Amino acid sequence: MLIAFPPCTYVAVSGARWFKNRMGLQHAALEFMRDILESHIGPKGIPHIAMENPVGVFSTYWRKPDQIIQPWQFGHGETKATCLWLENLPLLVPTNIVAGRANNIHRMAPGPERPRNRSVTFQGIADAMAEQWGAL
């Protein structure tokens, strides 16, 4: 099984205003993401693949995600649309829907740690992946 979290720097819609100056880097990132999803093909292919990324241009470059989840579906009171592209895996089932829904990721203060902090996977989502896909 492969659960991939490729960098979203050149493909997330949040960075769209910089796309025109980074077309080569964007193309390379999109091809890398496509290669991840195609690694299930062939006799030595990886049988189960999940790839996570925010809403971005991969949906039009390759294909739409199989599922879009939110942290508030897995015990966290934030909003952050997270796309999942799946190969031979079931959709994630929400484990703990919470009422509080703040847009903290988008409103995060500028600074050197902002990109890293914005890309952190919420523990509830990671736990759901482990619990629901781990037996495969």
Residue 87 exposure: Cα atoms within 13 Å on the Cβ side: 19
How high is the pLDDT of residue 17? 62
How high is the pLDDT of residue 57? 84
How high is the pLDDT of residue 102? 76
Per-residue pLDDT, averaged over 67-94, amounts to: 95
Q: Calculate the average pLDDT of the chain.
A: 86
**Cα separation, 29 vs 62, whole angstroms:** 12
Lowest-confidence region among 27-31, 80-84, 111-115? 111-115
How high is the pLDDT of residue 15? 62
- Per cent of the chain over pLDDT 70 is 88
Domain boundaries, the chain: 2-133
